[in-house]
């Protein structure tokens, strides 16, 4: 792997490449990104949250990225944009280009004779490429990764060390699979017959779209009959479980430790917070936001923000609140009986008044 040359970019060049407006000295040299609090010489930082505006006056950064509303709040050279965080992300990518692997197959790799590997692809030591697998242009397969039989890996895909693609898995161009991820393992399909579990063969595949990212140790099960489908530009964090036959719509982002049971259908442009649990065979509307640690038991047909987390409180207060919750059914019954008695009494008084 050939490391990139160290970068020194002028602020004027960053403005040109990101489309931001340049205010101040464009000859300032930028080599790294940093936070408002800790950035130092030759670093660029950003202000996106007004809560941190006070740090703008004390930052030691060489330049900052701000909105038009904050353009006059600092004398530092600056990039002015309506989306400081997005521009910061673009600048970070410019200053930290991905290292391109050297093309070729390491002698210690195992590549089946029936596999098709593009000449520009890279296969590292101890990687295994199965029969009928196809690796696209500039694909990178890192050490100890396993690409099963008849898998299809698109152009510019990166599969990191120890990731596993079970047979027939498809990965779209420019997607990234991080270490320890498993795509295409059996879904949890069982039938109970005569008091024992009978495994149902999982005949589907995992189909991952273009520009996706699958975090470390995330698992995506293949479909039972039809495919498990992850559409384009979906971002999955670490340690997520995606069950069989799940469909996740384009541009959805899911944080770590989420569990998605089989056959759930999640729409496009959704945001799902860490630790959320989604039951099987549900539909979640496009544009939905689910807060962290929320459990979803039913369909979400109207997009919005949904939260199901009991508020944090001291433990003793939580114990009392939990005890009250356990009593709600009894309280409801007693309240109903009281209301019924009051209605009877009111009816009796009304009848007496008419005599």
Q: Which of the residues are catalytic? A: 244
Name the pairing type of β-strands 32-33 and 21-23. Answer: unpaired
- Provide CB contacts within 8 A for 20, sequence distance 6+: 14, 65, 79, 80, 81, 87
Residue whose token pair is 């807060």 = 291
Helices (DSSP H) in the chain: which residue ranges? 11-18, 84-95, 315-326, 328-353
CA end-to-end span of the chain, whole Å? 100
Annotate 163-225 with DSSP letters as a single string.
-EE-TT-EE-TT-EE-TT-EEEEPP--EEEETTEEEEPP----EEE-TT-EE-TT-EEEPPSS
């Amino acid at each position: 792997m050939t490391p990139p040359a160290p970068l020194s970019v002028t602020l004027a060049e960053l403005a040109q490449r990101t489309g931001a407006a340049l205010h101040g000295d464009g000859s300032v040299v930028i080599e790294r990104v940093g936070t408002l609090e800790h950035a130092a010489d030759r670093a660029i930082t950003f202000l996106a949250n007004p809560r941190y505006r006070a740090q703008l006056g004390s930052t030691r950064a060489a330049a900052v990225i701000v909105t038009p509303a904050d353009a006059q709040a600092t004398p530092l050279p600056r990039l002015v944009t309506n989306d400081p965080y997005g521009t910061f992300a673009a600048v970070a990518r410019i200053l930290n280009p991905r290292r391109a692997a050297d093309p070729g197959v390491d002698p210690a790799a195992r590549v089946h004779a029936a596999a098709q590997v593009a000449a520009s692809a890279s296969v590292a030591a101890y990687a295994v490429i199965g029969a009928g697998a196809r690796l696209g242009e500039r694909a990178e397969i890192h050490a100890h990764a396993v690409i099963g039989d008849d898998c299809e890996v698109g152009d510019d895909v990166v599969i990191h060390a120890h990731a596993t693609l079970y047979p027939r898995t498809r990965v779209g161009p420019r997607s990234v699979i991080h270490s320890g991820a498993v795509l295409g393992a059996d879904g949890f399909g069982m039938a109970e017959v005569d008091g024992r579990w009978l495994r149902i063969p999982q005949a589907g595949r995992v189909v991952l779209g273009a520009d996706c990212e699958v975090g470390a140790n995330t698992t995506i099960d293949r479909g039972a009959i039809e495919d498990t489908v992850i559409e384009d530009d979906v971002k999955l964090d670490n340690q997520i479980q995606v069950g069989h036959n799940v469909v996740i719509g384009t541009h959805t982002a899911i944080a770590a430790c989420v569990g998605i049971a089989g056959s759930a259908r999640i729409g496009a442009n959704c945001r799902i917070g860490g630790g959320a649990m989604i039951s099987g065979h549900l539909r979640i509307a496009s544009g939905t936001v689910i807060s962290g640690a929320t459990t979803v038991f039913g369909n979400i047909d109207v997009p919005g923000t949904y939260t199901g987390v009991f508020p944090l409180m001291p433990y003793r207060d939580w114990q009392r609140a939990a005890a009250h919750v356990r009593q709600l059914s009894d309280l409801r019954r007693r309240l109903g009986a009281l209301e019924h008695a009051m209605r009877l009494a009111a009816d009796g008084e009304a009848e007496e008044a008419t005599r």
